[in-house]
A and B are shown apart, each in its own frame.
Chain A
Amino acid sequence: MTSTSFHLPIMELNDGNLQTLTEYLQKTLSPDPAVRRPAEKFLESVEGNQNYPILLLTLLEKSQDEVIRVCAAVTFKNYIKRNWRIVEDEPNKISDPDRTAIKANIVNLMLTSPEQIQKQLSDAISILGREDFPQKWPDLLTEMVNRFQSGDFHIINGVLRTAHSLFKRYRHEFKSNELWSEIKLVLDTFAQPLTELFKATIDLCQTHATDVNALKVLFSSLTLISKLFYSLNFQDLPEFFEDNMETWMTHFHNLLTLDNKLLQTEDEEEAGLLELLKSQICDNAALYAQKYDEEFQPYLPRFVTAIWNLLVTTGQEVKYDLLVSNAIQFLASVCERPHYKHLFEDQNVLTSICEKVIVPNMEFRSADEEAFEDNAEEYIIRDLEGSDIDTRRRAACDLVRGLCKFFEGPVTGIFSGYVSSMLTEYAKNPGVNWKHKDAAIYLVTSLASKAQTQKHGITQANELVNLCEFFVNHILVDLKSPSVNEFPVLKADAIKYVMTFRSQLPKEQLLEAVPLLVAHLQAESIVQHTYAAHALERLFTMRGANNATLITPAEMAPFTEQLLNNLFKALAIPGSSENEYMMKAIMRSFSLLQEAIVPYIPTLIGQLTHKLLLVSKNPSKPHFNHYLFESLCLSIRITCKANRDTVGSFEEALFPVFTEILQNDVQEFVPYVFQVMSLLLEIHTSSIPSSYMALFPHLLQPVLWERTGNIPPLVRLLQAYLEKGATTIASTAADKIPGLLGVFQKLIASKANDHQGFYLLNSIVEHMPPDSITQYRKQIFILLFQRLQSSKTTKFVKSFMVFINLYCVKYGAIALQEIFDDIQPKMFGMVVEKIIIPEVQKVSGQVEKKICAVGITKILTECPAMMDTEYTKLWTPLLQALIGLFELPEDDSIPDDEHFIDIEDTPGYQTAFSQLAFAGKKEHDPIGDAVNNPKILLAQSLHKLSTACPGRVPSMLSTSLPAEALQFLQGYLQAATVQLV
């Protein structure tokens, strides 16, 4: 214990203080904050006093008022949670005498308290234990173990629960000497008594076999004991448990096979004691099977049989779900291990597992039916997105896959029999037996699926299952059914089948399905029309030959109107007004159909805008909203591609909503709005409309730039402003230029956003009239040099080189050299020597490399200082670096310490980032056609230079340019048909 705990004020342990404390505790329960808050404040203010926890313990033990006792217990637990840990360099918040007293009394107090208080104290003990056990609380274990003798199961369960909370961390912590020493200590004191207790408890279960209340207590003990077994055996197989495996496993096995009518519960939802116990035993068996296979081998077959029998006899109720899925997972993990294969090999065994374990657990239950009807969203997430880890169906599927590892043929054979018999049952009376068909489809799906992704559906299928035949014979019927709303579950199954096996079915069958799916968009059932939308969306993304879409707009032509109609109508069905699958399908349809949608856009844009207005009041479905904006972008692009002049009508439709979004600062939507505006502005051909200029000052507000999500779209929007309106800004908003540069300054200060700052700066240099920025140029370079000095990351250096070369292209090499040397003498030479020559190889991107090539060519051939001062020594190395940029592979090495800076967001000349895929813009080349081949430019420029000062260039080349580089250079000269003189 630290020595910093000396000066705590002391509260006397007397009736007065107990009374005061009682009053304040009472007040903390008041619903009126005016009473409650001051009381809470008071308690906090005195909790640093010595004896405070002892007073609380006294109250929770002795108070006459039940409410106060519980309240004191909760307060005590929270106090321990906040204060018990001793943090280095901070004062000890609980006095040593209090600590000692608490530890001396708490176990006893916990065990003798009523359940409500016991739980709180048990939590408190586990917090104490985490800090103090075992070193600072050596007698805790023995004290606990001694209670096993008490014979009072209220007390014993208290001990077991506490032990569980102390030991459960063994299940997830890393092996360490400290941890294992603790476990060893626990095993030495605890394992034997626990085993004795286990045996005794089982004996008592026999003795009290007819006494429900006794059995309940005993079974909760057994469950806790089984949990402790799991924790103590988790890290490694302890010697003790290896020696006593017979005892434990025999009893576990018996308990698994045990059924006691008295313990069966009426409740259909909540798992009962029997289920909890058996489920834990399945976990224990699975642990041993996985980790201690060698030692457990003799017992395993027995457990396989017991667990399988258990499965066969367990009902369909929800309360058994955890047990059943644990039990199936156990079988699934065992059956794929080579040396247990023989346990499953026998045809009868396989048949029986298929028939009695797998098939029943794939059946559509009434709980599933309820979810299908009343909770479609959850049903879809579980069924479509696979968040069904613990469900029976998932477990049964895993078992099918496990069995297929060794027995694909026989299992497929057995199931084929089942599938046809279930289909026959269904055919006899579809109205009554429709669930049989559902199970048949599910079975076929799980049997056929070997590998699957969201993007492509099933990518590997079981060759023994004929998917096309099944489609033709059993799936099409349901898709074609004239009554769309009949048997919605089967319809959803059929749609899902198409979606799942889309990569396996031939194109003709998919084309046959498309109009049918379009019809199902109108179904009343949410699951059904959602699946139809999802299936269409997936089909539209499929690629055929030449990477074109598999389904072409021409093939869709007959259904286009129906498709668009139904998609938008479905958004009006209650429960689907913000259906993300539907919106995604709209987006995908636009993208597929392209100009075919133009005639419909005038109507559709109104509907989309209306939707946007509605959801902007309370954005709650991010995916829906995202696809909504994507759809807007597509409408704009596709329509304006056909006719640019329509851009005005989009602005007219959208700006009122956008204004509202920006004014109300709907944070989720602001980045989208900027992107759509960029898209619109870029379409304009002449000058910038005044409606945009009015917004310009607002875009520079720091508050917008504080949100990282705004940065890429805002930079892009400002770039669009500069491209279309640089002269307007210079003439009518020159006072905003410092603010614009302020944004640049803000961005380059950040390692993550510096490339965005360069995008902006490049646009400024490219588009702003030179006069308008003359006065800021020096400041700009000083800022860049400061950043280079303080943190010279690869990403920054790459962007920096592109910028200075662009500047050189725009303002000339002399201007570049002079501004550098004006900031600091010899600065230009330093940048060439320390930055450009060694790093230019790292520049990536076609446009970026071109800019650098042209810029460096200018430096070499249009900058007298390079020829006539001490910079001359850099001339050949710079030329060599340029030839390297042309000829050598890109250097993509990054220093080790930079691996974690924004790896994905590598800089490009253009805004690579775009949240909206369909708002993206084309790559922009600021040099364009002025230079088509930089190598030729280099040759011509060198030629020009050499004629200006005959003899110098060849002599510089011959003295220090390596032969290989010289050879490349000669190639350029030849291609340009020029010679150096």
Chain B
Amino acid sequence: MPTENLSDKRMSKFKNKGKEPTKMRDRRIAECVELRKAHKVEGIMKRRNISSVGDEEPLSPEYNTDNKQVFVISEAIQEIVANVNNECPEKQRQGCQAARKLLSRERNPPLKEIVEAGLLTRFVEFLGRNDDPTLQFEAAWSLTNVASGTSWHTQQVVEHGAVPAFIALLASPMLNISEQAVWALGNIAGDGPSYRDALIDCGVIPALLARLTPDAPVGYLRNLTWTLSNLCRNKNPFPRFSAVQQMLPSIIQLLHHSDKSILSDACWAISYLTDGPNERIDVVIKTGVLPRLVELLGFEELAVVTPALRSIGNIVSGSDLQTQAAIDAGVLSALPLLMRHPKSSVQKEAAWAVSNIAAGPCQQIQQLITCGLLAPLVDLLRNGDFKTQREAVWAVTNYTSGGTVDQVVHLVKCGALEAILNLLQAKDAKTVLVILDAINNIFLAAEKLGEVDKLCLLVEEVGGLDRIEFLQNHENNAVYRAAQALIEKYFSEDGDDQCLTTEATDSNFVFGASDVQKRFDF
């Protein structure tokens, strides 16, 4: 997920001016443990088909009581096994359909039970039954839903040999069957990098792209776009360049579609492709997609804005040139609105993008000023939710570390200092440390202007001194040391240290050079 490990990512960027870029990338790609729930607005990894087809009665609500349900299900599965293994096509269709219905229930579909009943072998076999499209369809649907489960479920489907069968089905003249195959393959690709690459090895990309025609119905295209996005997804490793090159033109084309759901998934695809080292970002920028992405930032639908913004955020975390390309495409005029977006998740991502732009050279920082991003940034520092504030704090620290003295002064005048001082109360050690870093940067600028005393007063006036002093009791060593260093350097007197030594007696020092120097050379 692109937002993971942000701080490390930024830290490396922030600190790496002049350091090896490869090291920085290692950190960016580093895996990260998450405690949170996977986020709701993220692109969906796997989906189950639970749409009900017109001619069917909905499942009766009295399945609710647990014991009864288990009992009923095991009975139902026994019946399915019997039917599916029957030689009679009618029975097979019946069994397959019953399985599909069970697997399409809203709640607690018996994925595991179906697998354990050994039904997958037969279902995969049925995929090849070109003579019986209904059976093919029901089997494809059932397998799609099994593959939508956990990794273990997906693995069962793959190990039963479903991949080549599904790829073959893509070419089916029956649109609903082909669509179901697209869907199933999407679930398999979404499982992770190894199945994704396995699919690519089996030639899934040309087979999919062949179905991307102007007359394809929107519903079909939605599935197709989603599956393509899953083929772009996941790192460690990334999908190989040749595969990306194959898919990109079609994805760019989809990015101009009018359907919001297609746009959303196409944007997610772009966001996956840009979530990587600079070479990856370059491939995407070269397609000329940036102006369109910026345009999409202005859409109303959250489902479009979120991945578009994520993509932009990824791009501006790249090299200075790549960031400049995004700026040239007009991203800075789109960001202020997003920073004031009603959804805090959008504010956060926008602040993240700003923080990365602020990590650039002072010319880019100047553009932040010119395009009026400081006022909304300070608003976010004051009123954003915590995650947004954290990103905004990074923006301030990056800005103050790379900005010129005048730029830093300007930021302070916009109210950023007071806002970050308030955030010293944040319950997150890293954020506090990053703020202390920013304060230190601001003091360095004040030193150059000879206005340290004035800054000291300002910090004290808004209650910042109290907070910094309080942090000298912080449990985290780095935090308390940083606070102490600030206090010692700017709010009190100081000590010093020694290098060489001079001989001494009780009454005085012994004057005279100890050794005859060989040769002086300065």
- A-to-B contact residues, CB < 8 Å: 169, 171-175, 177, 180-181, 183-184, 187, 234-239, 242-243, 287, 290-294, 333, 337-338, 386, 389, 451-456, 459-460, 697, 700-703, 705, 708, 736, 738-739, 741-746, 749-753, 776, 779, 782-783, 785-792, 823-824, 827, 830-831, 834-835, 892, 902-905
Contacts and interface: CB of A to CB of B under 8 A. Distances in A.
A789 B496 contact: no
A790 B500 contact: yes
B88 interface: no
Interface string B487-522: 001000011111111101111111111000101111
Contacts of A824: 519-520
24 contacts: A171-B427, A173-B476, A174-B476, A175-B7, A177-B32, A180-B32, A234-B427, A239-B37, A242-B37, A243-B37, A293-B386, A453-B457, A701-B507, A708-B496, A742-B510, A743-B509, A745-B512, A749-B499, A752-B496, A782-B513, A786-B520, A789-B521, A792-B522, A830-B522
B63 interface: no
A184 B500 CA distance: 52
The 9 closest A-B pairs by CB, nearest first: A742-B509, A752-B496, A739-B508, A749-B500, A702-B504, A172-B475, A180-B33, A741-B511, A746-B502
Contact of A174 (B478, B495, B519): B478
Interface string B10-51: 000000000000000000001111111100000000000000
A174 B429 contact: yes
A785 B35 contact: no
B426 interface: yes
A785 B502 contact: no
A753 B496 contact: yes
Given A174-B430, A749-B501, 14 more contacts: A173-B476, A174-B429, A239-B37, A292-B386, A294-B344, A294-B385, A337-B383, A453-B460, A702-B504, A739-B509, A742-B510, A746-B509, A779-B512, A779-B513
Interface in B335-370: 344
Contacts of A453: 457, 460-461
A789 B519 CA distance: 9
A959 to B, nearest CB: 27
A242 B37 CA distance: 8
A702 B498 contact: no
A35 to B, nearest CB: 40
B509 A752 contact: no
Contacts of B7: 175
Contacts of A175: 7, 430
A749 B470 contact: no
Given A177-B32, A187-B35, A788-B520, A742 B502 contact: yes
B159 interface: no
Contacts of A742: 502, 504, 508-511
Contacts of B427: 171, 234, 287, 290-291
A231 to B, nearest CB: 12
B447 interface: yes
Contacts of B509: 700, 702, 705, 739, 742-743, 745-746
A742 B509 CA distance: 5
A150 to B, nearest CB: 29
B517 A785 contact: yes
A389 B35 contact: no
Contact of B522 (A697, A834, A902): A834
Contacts of A187: 35
Given A824-B520, A834-B522, A338 B505 contact: no
Nearest to A788: B522
B499 A789 contact: no
A564 B476 CA distance: 49
B458 to A, nearest CB: 9
A292 B36 CA distance: 11
Among B426, B428, B489, B506, residue most surrounded by chain A Cβ atoms (within 10 Å): B428
Among B433, B447, B509, residue most surrounded by chain A Cβ atoms (within 10 Å): B509
Interface string B365-385: 000000000000000000101
B292 interface: no
Contacts of A455: 457, 460
Contacts of B259: none
Nearest to B462: A451
Contacts, number: 179
Contacts of B31: 177
B10 to A, nearest CB: 12
A835 B517 CA distance: 19
B466 interface: yes
B521 A830 contact: yes
Contact of B36 (A169, A172, A236): A236
Contacts of B479: 172
A238 B36 contact: yes
B461 A751 contact: no
Contacts of B499: 749-751, 790-791
B474 interface: yes
Contact of A177 (B30, B474, B496, B522): B30
Contact of B35 (A180, A287, A700, A902): A180
A459 B461 contact: yes
Contacts of B507: 697, 700-701, 739
Nearest to B432: A172
A720 to B, nearest CB: 19
A171 B475 contact: yes
A291 B496 contact: no
A26 B32 CA distance: 53
Contact of A750 (B447, B466, B498, B520): B498
A479 B225 CA distance: 81
A460 B461 CA distance: 9
A751 B497 contact: yes
B74 to A, nearest CB: 28
B497 A752 contact: yes
B466 A386 contact: yes
Contacts of A293: 344, 385-386
Contact of A702 (B476, B508, B519): B508
B470 to A, nearest CB: 6
Contacts of A792: 522
B508 A700 contact: yes
Contacts of A835: 522
B412 to A, nearest CB: 15
A750 B475 contact: no
Given A702-B509, A739-B511, A742-B509, A236 B517 contact: no
Contacts of A234: 427
Contacts of A827: 520
A240 B448 CA distance: 50
Contacts of A333: 425
A831 B522 contact: yes
A635 B476 CA distance: 48
Given A237-B36, A239-B35, A290 B522 contact: no
B33 A746 contact: no
Nearest to B500: A749
Contacts of B425: 333
